[in-house]
Amino acid sequence: MTTETVKKSVLVAVGVVENPRGELFICRRGASQHQAYKWEFPGGKVEAGETVPQALARELAEEIGIEVLACQPFMRIEHDYGDKLVILDIRKVTAFNGTPHGLEGQPSRWVPLAELHDYEFPAANGPIVNKLRADAES
Ligand SMILES: Nc1nc2c([nH]c(=O)n2[C@H]2C[C@H](O)[C@@H](COP(=O)(O)OP(=O)(O)OP(=O)(O)O)O2)c(=O)[nH]1
Ligand SMILES: [Mg+2]
């Protein structure tokens, strides 16, 4: 007899939103969410029939109230949390309308790149922060 475990895998559209001062917009996850209380870049699950840019535009409108006008691929990360396998498709938001703010009651703020390490992100996010730093130095 063989036993097979198929782990739940989710594709997530994640947005790196930067302001002209080079600060990044981050939000804190809620108590009832996976990776509770960790800080994150806003975003959420890609629903059936959606492209990643469509999901990103929907999630950023719902979560932080901005209209994404343009985005570009930044990086893709697969991370196994044990209970959940996530595929983060991270896009840099290069143009948007509106002022980002936490629309779902979540704490949120603009943070300078150099201060990102003061915030606890989910384990999957390490490479994002590293690449943002590397890009800023080049
Ligand atoms: N948005 C976001 N999710 C992240 C980041 N890093 C990371 O590991 N994740 C994980 C946590 C979750 O398991 C998953 C995102 O799913 P989610 O629960 O936020 O999805 P959603 O916004 O559609 O939320 P919901 O409708 O299910 O409440 O990706 C990140 O920087 N931003
Ligand atoms: Mg979300």
Tens of pLDDT along the chain (138 residues) come to 556 667 789 999 999 999 999 999 999 999 999 999 999 999 999 999 999 999 999 999 999 999 999 999 999 999 999 989 999 999 999 999 999 999 999 999 999 999 999 999 999 999 999 999 999 998
Between CA 92 and CA 102, with CA 96 as vertex, the angle to 5 degrees is 85
Q: Is 115 left (phi over 0), alpha (psi -120 to 50) or beta?
A: alpha
Between CA 46 and CA 54, with CA 52 as vertex, the angle to 5 degrees is 90
Give the ligand with the smallest distance to the CA of 41: 1
Architecture of domain 9-137: Alpha-Beta Complex (3.90)
Query: What pLDDT, on the 0 to 100 scale, is given for residue 61?
Result: 98
Query: What pLDDT, on the 0 to 100 scale, is given for residue 2?
Result: 58
* Residue that is written with structure tokens 């947005």 in the block: 15
What spacing in Å lies between the alpha carbon of 30 and ligand 2's midpoint?
Answer: 10
**pTM of the complete model:** 0.94
What spacing in Å lies between the alpha carbon of 44 and ligand 2's midpoint?
Answer: 4
Pocket of ligand 1 (CB under 6 A): 12, 14, 33-35, 40-45, 59, 84, 86, 88, 122, 124-125
Query: What pLDDT, on the 0 to 100 scale, is given for residue 3?
Result: 60
Domain locations in the chain as residue ranges: 9-137
Task: Name the residue of 25, 41, 45 whose CB sits within 8 Å of the most ligand 1 atoms, as the mutation to test its pocket.
Answer: 45
Between CA 41 and CA 49, with CA 46 as vertex, the angle to 5 degrees is 155
Q: DSSP assignment of 76-116, as one string?
A: EEEEE-SS-EEEEEEEEEEEEES----TTS--EEEEEGGGG
What spacing in Å lies between the alpha carbon of 43 and ligand 2's midpoint?
Answer: 5
Q: Which residues pair with 68 in a beta bridge?
A: 96
